[in-house]
Amino acid sequence: MNEKTRQININSRLESRRSYEKKFYEPCGLTVEEFFALAGICQTCFNGVCFDSQVDGWGLNDSVFESKVLGRSKLYFLIDNGYQKFGGVLYDSVIHYQWNYNTLPSYFH
C-alpha cells in the first residue's frame, strides 16, 4: 500500500468516526469517554436517541413519551441536571404505560 492510499484510508476512518460521534455521542450529551464508559457498564452499545426531553413534548397534554418507548426494550435513561449525569437501564420491553398525575404524591404537584 503506498503512502497516498494509506492516507486516504486514515482520512476515511476519521471521517467515519466523526460521523458516528455526531450521530450518537452528541445527541446524548455525552463526551466520547462518557459514551464508552456507559456502554461498558451496560455491556452494550447505543443506536440512537428515541426520546429527548429538549426536543420531544413531555407535558401533561402533549407528551409523546409513550409513543416513543412503547414496544421498545433495552432503554437507557440518561438524566443531566447540569451538575451530574445519571440514569438507568430497562432491559425488558415496555408493554404497558400509564401515567396518572392524580395518583402522584403531593410533592410532585
Mean of pLDDT over the chain: 72
Mean pLDDT of 45-64: 77
Region label for 28, one of left (φ > 0), alpha (ψ between -120 and 50) or beta (otherwise): alpha
- pLDDT tens readout for residues 26-53: 666 777 777 778 778 777 767 777 787 7
Q: Are residues 34 and 60 in the same domain?
A: no
Can you give the C-alpha Rg of the chain in angstroms? Answer: 19
Q: Are residues 33 and 54 in the same domain?
A: no
Domains: count for the chain: 2
Q: Are residues 62 and 103 in the same domain?
A: yes
- Which residue segment(s) compose the domain that 17 sits in? 1-44
Q: Are residues 56 and 33 in the same domain?
A: no
Q: Are residues 61 and 100 in the same domain?
A: yes
pLDDT at position 22 is 64
Q: Are residues 71 and 86 in the same domain?
A: yes
pLDDT at position 4 is 64
Longest dimension (CA), the chain: 70
